């Protein structure tokens, strides 16, 4: 299946991430089967930063998020082969689990969505 995207809130429709851009996002991840939440930057109150298109995140994010415009909020439905696959994520995601993420693209590099103030010190980064 891969990844499908359902838009919840339109972004600016003009500013899209490119491979190698640093993105700042909020997300909540749930298991598609049963809806159990396994992770959320929203719950922690700290947006998540990563570089798109270089394998820092699951394939479903690399392929789904790059289709979003700045400020967009969407649901990404990700099949297990584009998520954590047969290995799962011990303690959080069972093997072969399909995933659902509610994601919001807050910034592309220094270009921030309207109303987003990063506060700099409260970011969760993967580098």
| Known catalytic residue at 58 | yes
The per-residue pLDDT for 89 is 93
The per-residue pLDDT for 118 is 66
Q: Which of 50, 78, 84, 93 is catalytic?
A: 84
| Known catalytic residue at 48 | no
Q: Which of 58, 78, 93, 108 is catalytic?
A: 58
Q: Which of 48, 50, 82, 101 is catalytic?
A: 101
The per-residue pLDDT for 1 is 77
Tens of pLDDT, residue by residue, the chain (127 residues): 799 999 999 999 999 999 999 999 999 999 999 999 999 999 999 999 999 999 999 999 999 999 999 999 999 999 999 999 999 999 999 999 999 999 999 999 999 998 888 665 445 444 3
The per-residue pLDDT for 119 is 60
> Distance between alpha carbon 69 and the CA centroid of its chain, in Å?
13
Kindly state the helix (H) or strand (E) to which residue 14 belongs, with its residue range. none
What are the C-alpha distances in Å from 98 to residues 50, 52, 81? 22, 21, 8
The per-residue pLDDT for 126 is 47
């Amino acid at each position: 299946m891969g990844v499908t995207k359902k838009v919840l809130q339109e972004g600016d429709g003009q500013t899209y991430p490119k491979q190698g851009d640093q993105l700042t996002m909020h997300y909540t991840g749930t298991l598609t089967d049963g809806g159990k939440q396994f992770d959320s930057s929203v719950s922690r109150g700290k947006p998540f930063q990563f570089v798109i298109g270089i394998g820092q995140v699951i394939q479903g994010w690399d392929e789904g998020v790059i289709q979003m415009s700045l400020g967009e909020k969407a649901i990404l439905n990700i099949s297990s082969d584009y998520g954590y696959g047969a290995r799962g994520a011990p303690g959080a995601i069972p093997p072969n689990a399909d995933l659902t993420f509610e994601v919001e693209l807050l910034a592309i590099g220094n270009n921030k969505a309207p109303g987003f103030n990063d506060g700099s010190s409260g970011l969760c980064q993967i580098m």
